[in-house]
């Protein structure tokens, strides 16, 4: 909850108390608990009203999030950061990437990681590109969720720093993988770089397809 929102709740509570929309039942309760002391009852009323407004605000935000999520596929909600910063980063990025990487290691080992078989090379390229595509959507989602994060600014900044760091690490791994394929793949290394360009083009088209459609219609 931001400081601005918190202050607004108190202002709304005072406005309600001093206006015609004062909650008579709540006021009666506060006067009773204050044993007839209207000054104490007033402050108790304001406190109760602020808590009520906060609760209503949380419910409204939940309803807004649910409405945003409805009608959209998972990857679109991920890209737009609709799951919130914590869930997008820790669940849909860290946890999912760990599981996907673990699956890739198991399958490539089964297909012959020790002797660099053809199945190992092809499966490595396919899995790496699949994970790379997913990470692009996750990076964008984390960045957008950070922009809308209402908690401590430090967490939003740290999340963006980790995105940049992850991009650099992924690019480094891509270069190392390409160098390794050059030595063992008999030409299959040529698949890796073109596939990156195809992936990036796909992501750009998918992300900005609505803008493309609107520009074509106009």
Q: Could you tell me if residue 59 is left (phi over 0), alpha (psi between -120 and 50 degrees) or otherwise beta?
A: alpha
Q: What pLDDT was estimated at residue 90? A: 94
Give the pLDDT confidence of 77-90 residue by residue, as tens digits: 888 888 889 999 99
Mean pLDDT, residues 171-193 taken together? 66
3-state secondary structure of 131: helix
Q: What pLDDT was estimated at residue 2? A: 44
pLDDT top residue among 45 and 187: 45
Q: What pLDDT was estimated at residue 185? A: 56
pLDDT top residue among 8 and 195: 8
Confidence of residue 51 (pLDDT cuts 50, 70, 90): confident
User: What is the token pair recorded at 112?
Assistant: 């012959």
For 35, other C-beta atoms within 10 Å of its C-beta total 8
Same domain? For 197 and 92 the reply is yes
Give the pLDDT confidence of 88-129 residue by residue, as tens digits: 999 999 999 899 888 888 877 777 655 566 666 677 777 777
Same domain? For 88 and 125 the reply is yes
HEC sequence for 48-83 = HHHHHHHHHHHHHHHHHHHHHHCCCCHHHHHHHCCC
pLDDT top residue among 39 and 60: 39
Q: What pLDDT was estimated at residue 80? A: 84
Altogether, the residues listed in the chain come to a count of: 218
Number of domains in the chain: 2
User: What is the token pair recorded at 158?
Assistant: 């740290």
Q: Is the dihedral of CA 188, 193, 195, 198 positive or negative?
A: negative
Start-to-end CA span in the chain (Å): 41
Percent of the chain past pLDDT 90, that is, above it, reads 17
Q: What pLDDT was estimated at residue 199? A: 65
Same domain? For 180 and 80 the reply is yes
3-state secondary structure of 215: helix
Same domain? For 53 and 80 the reply is no
Confidence of residue 1 (pLDDT cuts 50, 70, 90): very low
Same domain? For 86 and 161 the reply is yes
Same domain? For 211 and 116 the reply is yes
pLDDT top residue among 175 and 156: 156
With CA atoms as reference, report the closest residue to 104 among 138, 129, 79, 78. Answer: 129
Same domain? For 197 and 130 the reply is yes
Same domain? For 41 and 135 the reply is no
Final residue belonging to a domain, choices 69, 84, 106: 69
Neighbour-count burial for 147-186, b at 16+ CB within 10 Å, e otherwise: eebeeeeeebeebeebbeebeeeeeeebeeeeeebeeebe
The span from the CA of 218 to the CA of 110, in Å, is 53
- Kindly report whether the global pTM for this prediction surpasses the value 0.85: no
Averaged pLDDT score across all residues of the chain: 76
**Taking the mean position of all CA atoms in its chain, how far away is CA 208?**
18
Which residues, 6+ apart, have CB-to-CB distance to 73 below 8 Å?
none
Burial group, residue 194, by CB count within 10 angstroms (0-12, 13-18, 19+): exposed
Backbone angles phi, psi at 171, to 5 degrees: -65, -40
Q: What pLDDT was estimated at residue 96? A: 93
Range of the domain at 64: 3-69
């Amino acid at each position: 909850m931001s400081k601005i929102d918190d202050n607004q709740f108190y202002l709304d509570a005072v406005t309600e108390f001093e206006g015609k929309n004062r909650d008579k039942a709540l006021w009666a309760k506060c006067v009773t608990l204050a044993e007839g002391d209207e000054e104490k009852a007033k402050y108790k009323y304001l406190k109760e009203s602020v808590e009520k407004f906060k609760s209503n605000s949380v419910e409204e935000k939940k309803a807004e999030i649910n409405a945003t999520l409805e009608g959209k596929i998972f990857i679109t909600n991920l890209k737009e950061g609709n799951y919130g910063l914590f869930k997008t980063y820790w669940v849909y990025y860290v946890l999912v990437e760990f599981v996907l990487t673990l699956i890739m290691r198991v399958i490539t080992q089964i297909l012959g990681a020790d002797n660099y078989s053809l199945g190992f090379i092809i499966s490595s390229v396919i899995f790496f590109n699949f994970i790379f595509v997913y990470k692009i959507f996750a990076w964008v989602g984390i960045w957008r969720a950070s922009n809308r994060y209402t908690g401590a600014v430090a967490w939003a900044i740290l999340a963006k720093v980790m995105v940049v760091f992850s991009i650099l690490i992924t690019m480094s791994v891509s270069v190392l993988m390409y160098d390794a394929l050059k030595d063992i793949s008999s030409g299959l290394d040529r698949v890796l770089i073109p596939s990156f360009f195809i992936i990036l083009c796909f992501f750009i088209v998918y992300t900005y397809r609505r803008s493309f459609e609107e520009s074509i219609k106009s």
